[in-house]
Amino acid sequence: MDIIVPANHAHEGFCSFQHFTRESCRNTGPFSVGAGDIARARAIRKVHVGCKVSFSVQSADSVDFKKHKGFQKQRQNRVFAISKVETLSFNGKMKHGEAFVQGHLNNGHISSGMENSSLNFEDFESNNHLRRLVRNGELEEGFKFLESMVYHGDIPDIIPCTSLIRGFCKVGKTRKATRVMEIVEDSGAVPDVITYNVLISGYCRLGEIDNALQVLERMSVAPDVVTYNTILRTLCDSGKLNLAMEVLHKQLEKECYPDVITYTILIEATCKESGVGQAMKLLDEMRNKGCIPDVVTYNVLVNGICKEGRLDEAIKFLNDMPSYGCQPNVITHNIILRSMCSTGRWMDAERLLAEMVLKGCSPSVVTFNILINFLCRKGLLGRAIDILEKMPKHGCTPNSLSYNPVLHGFCKEKKMDRAIEYLEIMVSRGCYPDIVTYNTLLTALCKDGKVDVAVEILNQLSNKHCSPVLITYNTVIDGLSKVGKTEQAMKLLEEMRTKGLKPDTITYSSLVGGLSREGKVDEAIKLFHDLERLGVRPNVITYNSIILGLCKARQTYRAIDILADMVTRGCKPTEATYTILIEGIAYEGLAKEALDLLNQLCSRGVVKKSSAEQVAVKM
């Protein structure tokens, strides 16, 4: 869709750290050593030559340690850190015990006076190693190392931990990402809003909105507008506008004010769920609160008006946009253009294109592709080619989506030579066909009986760096099966398996039909029975192919068994199933019995009267 929010509309906080400066030191927590603590420590400190320096730091009664999350872990970290300093002092590596006490213990970190100590160096090295693991994509190793760090009392840095959470979210391991967050929180480190946003975004991408909402509720820092926009987008995309409005209400209660992205998300969802009328009310509210709509907001509304079939209103809205302080862009015009084409207003579309150019709004490749698609569907290939050839003059290079409708148009008209000619033109201009291009061509060649050419093109695909997909093989296998070349089709079946492609019901139905038509009924039945083992469920076409093959082989008794199996397995026979069977019975010389059966089925409404008459004539 053209109305997708462009990159420059996305809030920086979603995917980038570059506009955020993390504080090198977190705010002092309840475990920091104050001036009074230093005085008391100095008063009770006992220094003996060759002995360790020990400290006694008493806690303040005013601090409710039990309510502080991760207090026990932080306490262990402090004791562990102090024990390291004692060891350093005992070994003569610290000349003055006071140097340690005068530094503030902040979340387990010594935030001053530690730059020159080996303890700080150890923490630095640990976090550096964690960064390297995450940067190299060694997520599991990074997770294990993080656990080890925290176990040994080190406080992990938030930035590599956030990257680790992001890494696990990208590969769909949101549980592991959540565990990283828990480890970080329990270590005494304080995750910031970016860390939480990454985890929430990971849950939202996988559609785990309930988990995202749980993270929102337990955040230890205030959510920002990016947090809410991520959740609102997911709720709106899943059709939960009412719940999105509840989240917006909570957002306002926390004095986190919506931005233009917030309103655009809600306006788009309202257009889909309640219509443009309600969305316009949101637009008014947005303006009243001092939030200026941008071109993306207006594009959403233009798209909504077009989808409601009010094209003339959409055109008026487009023309009024400059008076709202917003110039329409190429996407705005493309939305209108697509609506004009879909309603057959070709002259208006041509006029709009001319106006775009006149106003200095350069058409995009998408603009031209909309027009080419429309013209090809109408069979106006000449005009479509004219537009295709004019694209470079407007600074647009045609892509595969520009050429594909033209190729499809030639194939539809059975002008295969012209289709192949344009394929060569396409390649000569540096535009390489995609798999859709080749599938279009292969389908047309097979329908035209030129299966050998189709096989040749299929064999060349790997050399053209275009990997065939399931539909590609199905097209050629079906083509070979219909011209009596099932042996070659079976080889393609093996080839697609070796390439990791899993044949489906369509693949096997084509092969079963081909074998049946060639009189290889036993092979067809063997392949048919293999389907269950392969986890493929036969459809009515598969059953009809087997029944037809058995009837041609004068084995209607076996065909009736297949019909019974078909019904037992919940596959409903069609009118064609019964007419094939009736013709088969007649073919065995039992015309009277076949006619009686036909009349019975006709009276029960299983076979239409018109179809019964056609079958009767054949008998």
pLDDT tens per residue across span 445-475: 999 889 999 999 999 887 777 889 999 999 9
Give the least confident one: 65-74, 183-192, 314-323, 537-546.
Answer: 65-74
Q: What is the pLDDT of residue 314?
A: 96
Domain-embedded: residue 39: yes
Domain boundary among the residues 74, 91, 116 is at: 116
CB 20 within 8 A of CB 194: yes
Q: What is the pLDDT of residue 111?
A: 38
CA distance to 407, 447, 450, 480, 485, per residue, from 453 (Å): 16, 12, 6, 11, 14
**Over 50: is that where the pLDDT of 147 sits?**
yes
**Over 60: is that where the pLDDT of 39 sits?**
no
* Site of tokens 């537009």: 387
CB 489 within 8 A of CB 455: no
Share of the chain above pLDDT 70, in %: 79
- DSSP three-state, residue 110: strand
- DSSP three-state, residue 106: strand
Angle between helix 505-517 and helix 470-482 axes, rounded to 10 deg: 10
Residue of 331, 353, 337 lying closest to 4 (CA atoms): 331
* Site of tokens 């019901």: 505
Q: What is the pLDDT of residue 266?
A: 97
Task: Give 132-146 pLDDT, tens digit per residue.
Answer: 998 998 999 999 999
Q: Enumerate helices (H) and strands (E) in the chain, giving the number of each.
A: 32, 2
Averaged pLDDT for residues 281-287: 94
Q: What is the pLDDT of residue 543?
A: 93
Q: Which amino acid is at 439?
A: N
CB 595 within 8 A of CB 604: no
Instruction: Count CA within 13 A, CB hemisphere, residue 501.
Output: 17
In degrees, rounded to 5, the angle at the alpha carbon of residue 301 between the alpha carbons of residues 297 and 303 is 115
Q: What is the pLDDT of residue 366?
A: 96
Domain boundary among the residues 75, 94, 116 is at: 116
Task: Give 571-582 pLDDT, tens digit per residue.
Answer: 999 999 999 999
Q: What is the pLDDT of residue 272?
A: 94
Whole-number Å distance between alpha carbons of 296 and 260: 9
Q: CA gyration radius for the chain?
A: 36
Q: What is the pLDDT of residue 72?
A: 42
- Please return the burial class of 49, using the count of CB atoms within 10 Å of its CB with bins 0-12, 13-18 and 19+: exposed
Domain-embedded: residue 251: no
Domain-embedded: residue 186: no
Whole-number Å distance between alpha carbons of 424 and 207: 44
Count of positions (residues) in the chain: 619
SS3 per residue for 482-536:
HCCCHHHHHHHHHHHHHCCCCCCHHHHHHHHHHHHHCCCHHHHHHHHHHHHHCCC
Q: What is the pLDDT of residue 117?
A: 42
Whole-number Å distance between alpha carbons of 376 and 402: 11
What is the domain extent for residue 597?
Answer: 574-619
In our burial notation (b when 16+ CB lie closer than 10 A, e otherwise), range 432-448 reads ebebebbbbbbbbbbbe
Domain-embedded: residue 602: yes
Cross-strand bridge partners of residue 105: 110
CA distance to 297, 319, 352, 360, 398, per residue, from 302 (Å): 9, 11, 15, 20, 27
* Other C-beta atoms lying within 10 Å of the C-beta of residue 360: 7
Q: Could you tell me how far CA 187 lies from the centroid of its own chain? A: 34
**Over 90: is that where the pLDDT of 597 sits?**
no
Domain-embedded: residue 94: yes
Give how many domains the chain has, as a whole number: 2
Task: Give 527-582 pLDDT, tens digit per residue.
Answer: 988 888 888 999 999 999 999 999 999 999 999 999 999 999 899 999 999 999 99
Element spanning 109, H or E: strand 109-110
Domain-embedded: residue 541: no
Domain-embedded: residue 66: yes
Contacts of residue 227, defined as CB under 8 A and 6 or more positions apart, other chains included, come to 193, 196, 197, 200, 216, 219
Greater model confidence, 615 or 214: 214
**Over 50: is that where the pLDDT of 83 sits?**
no
Whole-number Å distance between alpha carbons of 576 and 67: 75
**Over 90: is that where the pLDDT of 432 sits?**
no
Domain-embedded: residue 607: yes
Q: Using the Cα atoms of residue 567, residue 571, residue 575 and residue 577 in order, give the sign of their dihedral.
A: negative
Domain boundary among the residues 116, 147, 173 is at: 116
Angle between helix 260-274 and helix 276-288 axes, rounded to 10 deg: 160
Reported as a pLDDT band with limits 50, 70 and 90, residue 123 is low
DSSP state of 570: T
CB 203 within 8 A of CB 185: no
Tokens of 374: 């429309």
Q: What is the pLDDT of residue 385?
A: 94
Give the least confident one: 114-128, 268-282, 397-411, 587-601.
Answer: 114-128
Whole-number Å distance between alpha carbons of 374 and 396: 18
* Site of tokens 């009686």: 596
Averaged pLDDT for residues 346-365: 92
Reported as a pLDDT band with limits 50, 70 and 90, residue 24 is very low
**Over 70: is that where the pLDDT of 88 sits?**
no
Whole-number Å distance between alpha carbons of 82 and 100: 9
Summary mean pLDDT of the chain? 81
In our burial notation (b when 16+ CB lie closer than 10 A, e otherwise), range 137-160 reads eebeebbebbeebbeebbbbbbbb
Greater model confidence, 80 or 320: 320
Averaged pLDDT for residues 101-115: 38
Q: What is the pLDDT of residue 619?
A: 67
Residue of 5, 371, 315, 294 lying closest to 363 (CA atoms): 371
First to last CA, the chain: 55
Q: Could you tell me how far CA 99 lies from the centroid of its own chain? A: 54
Whole-number Å distance between alpha carbons of 423 and 403: 8
Q: What is the pLDDT of residue 192?
A: 94
Q: What is the pLDDT of residue 199?
A: 96
Cross-strand bridge partners of residue 109: 106
Greater model confidence, 607 or 95: 607
